[in-house]
Structure 1
Amino acid sequence: MNNHTQNNNNNKMCWFNSLDESSLKAYKLLFDALSLIPISHYLFALFVSLLTFLYSFLEFHFLHDLFSGFRGSPVGLTFNPTSSALYDGVVSKCTVLHGRYLPTPWLSSPHIQTGFLHFFGRPPSLSYTRQLFHLSDGGIIALDWLMSSAVFGGSFSMSNSISKDDTTPIVLVIPGLTSDSSSAYIKHLAFKIAKHGWNVVVSNHRGLGGVSVATDCFYNAGWTEDMREVINHLHHEYPMAPLFVVGTSIGANLLVKYLGEDGENTPVAGAVAICSPWDLLIGDRFICRRMLQKFYDRALAFGLVGYAQLHEPRYSRLANWEDITKSRSIRDFDSYATCPVGKFETVDTYYRRCSSSSYVVNVSVPLLCISALDDPVCTREAIPWDECRVNKNIVLATTHHGGHLAFFEGITANSVWWVRAVDEFLSVLHSSPYMHVQKKKSGLHSSLESSIDQGPYVNVSADGMVAAVGNEQTRNSMVEDLPESQKTYNVDNEMVPNTEQGEQLMEANSDALPNIVQTCEQPTNIPDVKFPNVIASVRRYLNQLQQQNMLSIWLLAYIAIVTTWPLVGSALGIIFRKKH
């Protein structure tokens, strides 16, 4: 028995030894075969693998464009399908918005497009004329003007080129984060609009454009007071000129927030928001999600720290300077600099209060919003699709590609698609009867809450009593909880001109009076559906109440029959027994 077991063990060991020898021989043959392959083939395979990785990592779409015949992708339009006079009367006539967008073939990646815009951009050659504008709190910002005469070789002077009765449209441009009038995309837009024959003015943010900060107030993603003062100033100085506003990136967030705050009480005739972040809280979560987004986060934070270094004396007095210099993300900078200076409790509080998505429903000005679905900075997840669809004054245009503010097109990448779209939209809007006319209101700027916030609240007292509480107290408490720098008030500042200026202003107003009357009397073709909606709601409620009452009556009858049937049955039984 022992000999048999020992023989089996020996056989197994021999089998394993032979298996090991055969495996070694197989691996040796494999390595010998691999060594016969030229090294150039390995390098080619490595190159293909690296190229495949980069194609996926950088989100290239060249092959898709190639297989589709370089036709581009159609522009998606989101609007109110039942009562959008803006789409019917303006956007429907815009060929650019109803066409296709094909990116430059050698820039077929949102990251390559965005990087190319930042480092190259190919901006046109132009020269601004600077006007220093003094704000009510003592701050100073630079207004850089570009006139059509300057584009076509003429000269421009603020003292003699624009008069009170000039009807040439003015386009106010609000740059993005840490951008100013020297940015490539701003120059593309300004040159295109000025070449169209209109006047362009770029409102640089506080502390940018080479102008020092004069007060302890810095701009942030929700600070709309500077824009409001500039808009009111332009409207007062040039009351006959239609005023349009274009905001880009953070400037677009400021623009939409301002339009939602002021509602009808704004002199803006029309507006365009390009690549808005919409919801800053969602954007904050998005930009630190993937490796590439973290790269953008780091790059933008580097720009913000550079902006702070330009104004180190004030920042070091208002916040912890060492923490600011250590910022490695936008959230770090907002935590160490924006919140202490702007008097925000937390970063999330700052993001919630300054997000423009909450103000979309109250926009009363014709507004075109353009966003790229592959934007690597402002995610598509933050786009308020439903709010834009409900508001009859908004049309949202989305493209599959474009990057952040890039949208280059053509073989040479000398053209920017969204610039052409903005130029055509404003031109069609200007020639239509749908431009907004200011309707002044007094009081606070209406801050928007959702329908959930407007419903009754439940108040539970200490003794357990439950009572419904309206939302008026909540609104007041929300206003009181806001920091003083974020409270916005509507104050009508009447400027009294001297005699000579007053006579000129009266003459300008008398000359332009027929135009004003014509503008006011032109039909807007925007149906006022508020009163019919109220009647329909009341009728619907009464019908539901009537149906509920009928159901209640039948239910009570059923309960009465079921509960009284034993008594009725007993009584009937007694009666029939007596008869028998």
Structure 2
Amino acid sequence: MEEDLIPSPYDLLFEALWLIPIRHYLYALFIIWTVFFYNYVEFHFLGDVALQYFRCRVNLIYNPDSPIYHGVVSRCPTLHGRYVATPWLASPHLQTCFLNFHGLPPVFTYTRKLFRPSDGGTIALDWLTNSHVLDEISKEDTTPIAVVIPGLTSDSSSAYLKHLAYNTAKSGWNVVISNHRGLGGVSVTSDCFYNAGWTEDVRVVLRHLQHEFPMAPLFAIGTSIGANILVKYLGEEGEKTPLRGAVAICSPWDLLIGDRFISRKFKQRLYDRALTIGLQGYAQLHEPQYTRLANWEGIKKSRSIRDFDNHATCHVGKFETVDTFYRKSSSTQYVGNVAVPLLCISALDDPLCTKEAIPWEECRANKNIVLATTNHGGHLAFFEGLTASSLWWVRATNEFLGALSCSRHMHIQKIQESGSSGSGKLEEPSINQGPYLNIAEDGLVAAVNLEENTTRSKEATQVLNQRGPKVKDKRSFNVLCRQTKRSIWLLGYIGMVTGFPLVGMLMNYLFRKKQRPITASKS
């Protein structure tokens, strides 16, 4: 009976828990949820407050002998300072989401000009000049031009591009955003689409701007996928690019590593799915072309970026597999060939472009590259200040380009000679390279090159045909005399002056020869 009167330990436990007020349970639940959310969303507010001096410094990677660091970056206090995120956005995911859903962009209006490459496509160039009064830029204008290459499915209306364009124009530059084909409200007018490794549009746009504004120095800023395209273009062109300097923001660098990373965890898969929806929306705008060139049913069923690239990009770009496309389009393999001053900025907590893909040693080996990394910042966000009204990377970019444009370290384009091996033509032997002699009708002799202007040669042929049949040229002394007497007299005068010492030597020799017998007889 006594054993039956002893209460069960569990009953005692439940009775004790029942005595605890409900609000205490709510407090405990709130604390647990806060800790979970703080770690899951990767909040770093407490760490910034406690370890701001150590964790918020900008880490610079550069070659010890880099003239770009010592001559340009050393004059940029922003890159030698700290980046402290906005307190209520102290998370890479909050920063990235806030940038895409709002971003607090400045309000202004672009001036649009359409550029049509030779393949029939259409590229929208959205301009923001340093003065709202001057919509047109003259050919003699020497104001630097910043060419911006947007990220995946982004156009000039994106919040981060508006921040960049407004602040760059405010600092006295002219800004042009080169929208990708089919974006910015422009239809695709050819069978050519952009992708993560398509550099031809950058090449033709820069060539067009150099022709239109020959006095204005050109700089380029690439963001996200645009940064990968820019670095790949710089590596392909080397010394031949007309750019004086460049900046790459949050580049994915290695697309194969990025593809593995974005499908690794649940959080990354959410971003993967969101970007896929954006790509499907882009394809929906140009359904007739994708239906004809790609697998439209596969595009509609795509659940990831890799699926979309498999059904769309590989078909349009003629790639064998998705991995082949990623491997050929990655900019990491081109870093060593970059010949212009290049600043690269990346956040180590970027939820889209992993730090595992950053080519640390390749950037350190190239004297033209300075890599700046921060512990926080998200993807293209880097909000700073209590109101999150500005982006840190925009301020760092403008500071770097401003210091570079005033220095002697700007890149100067190397014009490739027509006879060089890079032109694809075999080099001619030295005996065929001239100079050659040309005898004019007045008797003047001039050196000419082998290469002649085609139109001039055609005009000369027409003139000869009008004069009558060709007569065989008689290269005799009498013919030359009839052409001009002045030249003959001039040649005679030159011959007499140059030959006079020889005549004197000959007479001296003969005179000494005649005197030898006389001298011998006397002896």
Structure 1 length normalisation: TM-score? 0.71
Aligned to 1:328: 303
Residue 34 to residue 385, structure 1, CA distance change in 2 (3 Å) = same
Aligned to 1:130: 112
Residue 53 to residue 226, structure 1, CA distance change in 2 (3 Å) = same
* DSSP 3-state at the match of 2:370: strand
Per-residue deviation, residues 535-580 of structure 1 (Å, max 9, x unmatched): xxxxxxxxxxxxxxxxxxxxxxxxxxxxxxxxxxxxxxxxxxxxxx
Q: How does 1:424-463 map to 2 (within 5 A)?
A: 424-441=399-416
Alignment equivalent of 1:221, drawn from 183, 196, 199: 196
Q: Which amino acid aligns with 1:181?
A: S
Matched, 1:277 2:257: no
Cα deviation for residue 50 of structure 1 reads 1.0
CA distance in 2, matches of 1:174, 1:370: 15
Alignment equivalent of 2:93, drawn from 111, 117, 121: 111
Aligned length: 423
Residue 21 to residue 260, structure 1, CA distance change in 2 (3 Å) = farther
Aligned to 1:4: none
CA distance in 2, matches of 1:420, 1:72: 20
8 Å contact from structure 1 (residues 71, 102) kept in 2: no
Residue 111 to residue 217, structure 1, CA distance change in 2 (3 Å) = same
Aligned to 2:138: 163
Residue 236 to residue 21, structure 1, CA distance change in 2 (3 Å) = farther
Alignment equivalent of 1:90, drawn from 61, 72, 76: 72
Give unpaired runs (5+ residues) of structure 1. 1-13, 447-493, 497-580
Residue 444 to residue 31, structure 1, CA distance change in 2 (3 Å) = farther
Q: Which amino acid aligns with 1:216?
A: D
Matched, 1:42 2:25: yes
Q: Which amino acid aligns with 1:251?
A: G
8 Å contact from structure 2 (residues 55, 375) kept in 1: no
Residue 364 to residue 445, structure 1, CA distance change in 2 (3 Å) = farther
Give aligned-pair identity as a percent.
Answer: 68
Matched, 1:193 2:176: no
Q: Which amino acid aligns with 2:277?
A: F
* DSSP 3-state at the match of 2:42: coil
Q: How does 1:450-489 map to 2 (within 5 A)?
A: none
CA distance in 2, matches of 1:134, 1:399: 39
Q: Structure 1: which 4+ aligned runs deviate by more than 6 Å?
A: none
Q: How does 1:352-391 map to 2 (within 5 A)?
A: 352-391=327-366
Aligned to 1:147: 129
CA distance in 1, matches of 2:423, 2:254: 20
Aligned to 2:234: 259
CA distance in 1, matches of 2:27, 2:53: 28
Aligned to 1:28: 11
Aligned to 2:513: none
Matched, 1:102 2:77: no
Cα deviation for residue 71 of structure 1 reads 8.2
Aligned to 1:568: none
Matched, 1:74 2:49: no
Cα deviation for residue 323 of structure 1 reads 0.9
Tell me the C-alpha RMSD between the 2 structures.
1.9
Alignment equivalent of 1:61, drawn from 44, 56, 73: 44
Per-residue deviation, residues 116-135 of structure 1 (Å, max 9, x unmatched): 10011000011100000001
Aligned to 2:435: none
Alignment equivalent of 2:279, drawn from 299, 304, 326: 304
Cα deviation for residue 259 of structure 1 reads 0.1
CA distance in 2, matches of 1:206, 1:443: 33
Cα deviation for residue 155 of structure 1 reads 4.8
8 Å contact from structure 1 (residues 262, 445) kept in 2: no
* DSSP 3-state at the match of 1:419: helix
Q: Which amino acid aligns with 1:129?
A: T
Matched, 1:399 2:374: yes
8 Å contact from structure 1 (residues 72, 101) kept in 2: no
CA distance in 2, matches of 1:27, 1:124: 63
CA distance in 2, matches of 1:268, 1:315: 34
* Structure with max Cα Rg: 2
Cα deviation for residue 21 of structure 1 reads 8.3
Structure 2 length normalisation: TM-score? 0.79
